[in-house]
A and B are shown apart, each in its own frame.
Chain A
């Protein structure tokens, strides 16, 4: 048990570190050009916000349609904290997340009593309200003209170095979000949250304080979305309420549904895929949205559970399988179906 724990921690750290070094090197040497480097960084931000949405929608089972609003709160508050109060970036991003969490808590109190589509519509409404407030608080947010001059992640003048630093920051926060969400989900409070999705009545009669855990999950989700928003503000250096419209909220829902509601790895894959496909489809100009819509419809028809359903790709399991074949007593010598083995193993 203890040995497993150690092995898991080491494996995950080594994997995420080596993936980082690989990608950073590729950007640094120009093999991933500046454009793709930027895109990858943007994808990271999308992954953060989508993971936060997956927490409330995929794991808690409460459909929320206002995450662009949370992102807006995070983005504006981070930008304002940096620009007006001269706070360094990391504390500013976390402060933005906290402010968004408070917003989430306030919005959650009245709305989380509602179920299903009612909740979706009210969160949508709140998302729009936030956007309209941002337009009208001109003194603070610059109103419809937008907020200019958010300082970038780094300002060295060297484009390639800047791109690497930008990527590094976002990668760091992606890992942070990933650790928070996946550790939460695999703990007892996380199981309580999932049980609400499975059956609210049963969950209640198993002694789980359902309203509290809905609220907790919603606030946590707002916090992470706010962090995503803060990074977004620094990434673009310019904010405009139009960037956080209803369609953006829908984009995050699309990512979560495509990846599989309740799958962390699914959200990561879908978030990256979504960002790239959106860019590739730009050559079709206005038809982009039509093609995109058709693609979505066909996915829902033929793959209703999304890419991953509620399954996960376990890095630890993969590493065990390919690098530590001999350590496991099971003799996986020939090409026998491996899936059955890993199931009977029962390791996490």
Chain B
């Protein structure tokens, strides 16, 4: 039932071993957190899973259906191919299409599923209008879920920070992923917004039948919603377990959490 199976992937930049023998198996429908101190290699793992970097060792297997074992290797594929297979992501430093409208941001993510080609677009065939109507409607539905549908004509850069984060998730969902990678979704949000985001993340997981892997520094969020947590330090996995196991793990406390952490929710 694995959706993703990363088998001891490593990457070396020059002489620096950024990530060493990282293993990760994601079961269908799981919500897993990836934590660790700054520079531990969390985003590098994301970049390897999404094809931005090619791992120098190991293999990444993906299984869109989520049934049986993951078999399709995605190592060597380009990011856009991996997205088309069903892995979508958001970015640590928000990467929206800033000067485009909120609606267009989402509609762009529908692009690879659109059935008409450029010529049919130029000639404005009936298929063009049909498809445009359908993706516009789907985009609006997504915006509604994130409660930003009232701002569909605003430029993405004019949204408040929290809504930009939400828009990025909405845009990632528009690619119809099976696996969603969220890179610090709560960064820059206030406690109330973080709290709402927690519910939203669990909600979309159920609604879109997703498997979610997220990087986050906000322990209330991580401990609150993740079913399993992987802890990275200096490119190596130092612990894997449930939130309560992780929060008591002496290695994790030493490397990352510090003494006297509260487990949040």
Chain A residues with CB under 8 Å of chain B are: 1, 5, 179-180, 183-184, 187-192, 194-195, 198-199, 201-210, 216, 310, 343, 346
Contact = CB atoms under 8 A, between A and B. Distances in A.
A121 to B, nearest CB: 26
B83 A206 contact: yes
Interface stretch (B19-27, B124-132, B194-202, B207-215): B124-132
Contact of B80 (A179, A191, A208, A216): A208
Contact of B79 (A194, A204, A216): A204
A210 B96 CA distance: 16
A203 B121 contact: no
Nearest to A217: B118
A188 B117 CA distance: 8
Contact of B96 (A183, A189, A202, A209): A202
A207 B83 contact: yes
Contacts of A187: 116, 118, 121-122, 128, 132
In the A-B complex, list the 7 residue pairs whose CB atoms are closest, starting with the nearest.
A187-B121, A198-B97, A207-B83, A202-B95, A207-B112, A189-B118, A188-B114
B62 interface: no
From B110, B118, B174, name the one whose CB has the most chain A CB atoms within 10 angstroms.
B118
A205 B122 contact: no
Contacts of B89: 205
B168 to A, nearest CB: 9
B122 A179 contact: yes
Given A205-B52, A207-B109, 14 more contacts: A183-B124, A187-B118, A187-B122, A190-B121, A194-B108, A199-B96, A201-B79, A204-B79, A206-B80, A206-B171, A206-B172, A206-B175, A207-B84, A310-B99
A135 B187 CA distance: 60
Contact of A1 (B96, B133, B153): B133
B98 A191 contact: no
Contacts of B17: none
B217 interface: no
Contact of A210 (B80, B100, B175): B80
